[in-house]
């Protein structure tokens, strides 16, 4: 064979191995036809044209964003909910590398990947929501508004995305089999982890601090000077719960991409995560009560808004806390897994309340759900899941790469 033909053959082999996982094109495409993929394709077929329309006609095409209520689901879900749910990275990395809990090592990479994908798509939602998304780099390079909490969020999300990418890069480099760069990438892990925790502390709380500027607009039961702390603490148990959920789903639906050794330890690890989450949940519950006490808003609990607040802190914080404790005590892994879903739902509930619902409580005419908005959100989440799956299928996330035993650390 000529040199050129050999090179072409090499490239073709590389693509076949890395992208199509060693299958022939036809075999690959046949494997793609699953119920989940078909539904996903339908969603994308509806959603992607909508997104294109949003750029042609303006934001009003897909949201009910009004002059009185500037934020919609794109920020309510994409940014305010997506970011705490992507807190998995800094939590697991600090648990393993800073606090020395080496037994959780098998969960670090998936957690970092969840974090990276989560933040990446939070930025995607931002690009959809911003009036002039091409100006996204402005607060980074062009004009600073350092008195703004949002400025802090912008910088930290950008930096944290880079840090998560760097933390995940060993997995990518193992996939690409680039030995020397990988060594360098591993060396910065501790520094990156510490940096990541600093950034996370600040921007998780900053997302809450944004609402400090709206004292009259956010309902007093949710508004408190402690919002930054509340957001940060809840992000911690959000991350822990998401790690449980992620491992549950992957170990169930993508068994062949998981290292067989991990199946033996995952139950213990899940119990351990449940234990940690229960501690954080009870702390958060007490902090919420302190928030109400601080403003002396006890009388507000006796109202329709008070009902939703009590539902949130009892039904979605205290109840999962008790379920976690019960699951840990009785070694009931299924209960712990189930409770993780409740806890995450509680996070979604809280963030949507703060960013959309309770922040328009004084408006006579408040709307926060538009059909097209929901479609776009579902579309982007579908892309997110597909991207995550694509990466887990190919890269050594839940398993070790045969050329790099030990996973690197």
Partner 1 sequence: MKINRRGLIKSVFAAGGSAALARPGKAAAGVEHFTGNPDRYGCLTDLTRCVGCRSCEAACNEANGLPKPEVPFDDDSVFEHERRTSEKAYTVVNRYDNVRTDAKPVFRKIQCNHCNEPSCASACLVNAYTKTPEGAVLWNKDLCLGCRMCMLACPFYIPTFEYDKPVPKIQKCNMCHDRTSQGKMPACVEACPMEAIAFGKRSELIKLARERIEKEPDRYIDHIYGEHEVGGTSWMYISGVPFERVGFDEHLGVVPFPQYTRGFLSAVPLVLVIWPALLGGFYLFSERREELDDREKSGKPGERA
Site for partner 1 in 21-80 (CB under 8 A): 55-61, 63, 65, 67-68, 70-71
Of 220 and 346, which has the nearer Cβ to partner 1? 220
Q: How many residues can be counted in the chain?
A: 409
Q: Where are the alpha helices (DSSP H) in 143-226?
A: 149-176, 179-187, 189-209
Structure tokens at 261: 């050794």
Distance CA 124, CA 116 (A): 12
Q: Which of 92, 123, 157, 209 binds partner 1 (CB under 8 A)?
A: 209
- Nearest CB to partner 1, comparing residues 110 and 170: 170
State which residue, 104 or 323, has the beta carbon closest to partner 1. Answer: 104
Closest CB to partner 1 among 204 and 382?
A: 204
Taking the complex as a whole, the smallest distance from the CB of residue 58 to partner 1 amounts, in Å, to: 5
- Alpha-carbon distance of 246 to 244, in angstroms, equals 6
The answer to whether 206 contacts partner 1 (rule: CB under 8 A) is yes
Residues 345 to 404: which contact partner 1 by CB under 8 A? 359
Other C-beta atoms lying within 10 Å of the C-beta of residue 59: 15
Q: Which is nearer to partner 1, 84 or 220 (CB)?
A: 220
Residues 121-160 that bind partner 1 (CB under 8 A): 129-133, 135-136, 138-139, 142-156, 159
Closest approach, Cβ 198 to partner 1, in A, equals: 5
Least separation, in Å, of the C-beta of 393 and partner 1? 27
Query: Is residue 184 a contact point for partner 1 (CB under 8 A)?
Result: no
Binding mask 83-112 vs partner 1 (x if CB under 8 A, - otherwise)? -----------x--xxxx-x----------
Stretch that binds partner 1, among 186-194, 242-250, 291-299, 321-329 (CB under 8 A): 186-194
DSSP string, 212-269: GG-TTTS-TTT--TTHHHHHHHHHHHHHHHHHHHHHHHHHHH-GGGS-HHHHHHHHHH
| Of 211, 194, 108, the residue nearest 153 (C-alpha) | 211
Is 210 an interacting residue with respect to partner 1 (CB under 8 A)?
yes
Closest approach, Cβ 31 to partner 1, in A, equals 37
What is the number of H-type helices and E-type strands within the chain? 16, 0
Among 77, 80, 116, 195, binds partner 1 (CB under 8 A): 195
Structure tokens at 224: 């408190």
Residues 6+ positions from 180 with CB-CB distance below 8 Å:
none
Q: CA-to-CA distance for 305 and 310, rounded, in angstroms?
A: 9
Minimum distance from residue 191 beta carbon to partner 1 (Å): 3
Taking CB under 8 A as the rule, does residue 194 contact partner 1? yes
Token digits for 349?
Answer: 């509930």
What 362-366 contacts at long range (C-beta under 8 Å, 24+ apart), as own/partner pairs, is 362/216, 362/217, 363/68, 363/69, 365/68, 366/68, 366/69
């Amino acid at each position: 064979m000529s040199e050129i033909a050999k090179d072409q053959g090499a490239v073709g082999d590389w693509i076949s191995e890395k992208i199509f996982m060693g299958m022939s094109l036809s075999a690959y495409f046949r494997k793609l036809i699953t119920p989940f993929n078909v539904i996903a394709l339908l969603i994308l077929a509806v959603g992607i044209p909508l997104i294109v329309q949003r750029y042609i006609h303006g934001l009003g095409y897909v949201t009910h964003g009004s002059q009185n209520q500037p934020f919609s689901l794109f920020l309510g879900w994409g940014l305010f909910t997506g970011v705490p749910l992507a807190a998995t990275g800094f939590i697991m990395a600090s648990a393993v590398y800073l606090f020395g809990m080496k037994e959780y090592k098998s969960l670090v990479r998936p957690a970092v990947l969840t974090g990276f994908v989560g933040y990446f798509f939070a930025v995607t939602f931002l690009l959809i929501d911003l009036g002039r998304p091409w100006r996204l780099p402005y607060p980074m390079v062009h004009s600073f508004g350092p008195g703004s909490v949002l400025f802090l969020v912008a910088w930290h999300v950008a930096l944290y995305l880079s840090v998560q990418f760097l933390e995940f890069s060993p997995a990518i480099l193992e996939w690409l089999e680039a030995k020397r760069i990988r060594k360098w990438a591993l060396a910065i892990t501790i520094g990156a982890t510490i940096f990541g925790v600093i950034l996370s502390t600040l921007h998780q709380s900053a997302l809450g601090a944004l609402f400090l500027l709206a004292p009259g607009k956010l309902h007093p039961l949710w508004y408190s000077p402690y919002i930054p702390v509340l957001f940060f603490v809840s992000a911690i148990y959000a991350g822990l719960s998401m790690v449980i959920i992620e491992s549950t789903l992957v170990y169930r639906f993508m068994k062949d991409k998981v290292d067989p050794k991990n199946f033996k330890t995952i139950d213990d690890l899940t119990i351990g995560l449940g234990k940690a989450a229960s501690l954080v949940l009870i702390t958060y519950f007490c902090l919420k009560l302190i928030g109400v006490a601080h403003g002396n808003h006890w009388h507000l609990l006796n109202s329709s808004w008070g009902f939703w607040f009590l539902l949130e802190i009892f039904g979605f914080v205290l109840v999962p806390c008790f379920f976690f404790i019960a699951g840990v005590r009785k070694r009931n892994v299924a209960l712990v897994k189930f409770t993780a879903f409740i806890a995450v739902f509680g996070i979604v509930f809280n963030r949507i309340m703060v960013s959309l619902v309770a922040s328009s409580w004084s408006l006579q005419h408040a709307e926060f759900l538009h059909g097209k908005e929901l479609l776009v959100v579902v579309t982007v989440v579908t892309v997110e899941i597909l991207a995550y799956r694509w990466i887990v299928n190919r890269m050594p996330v839940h398993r070790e790469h045969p050329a790099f035993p030990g996973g690197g650390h």
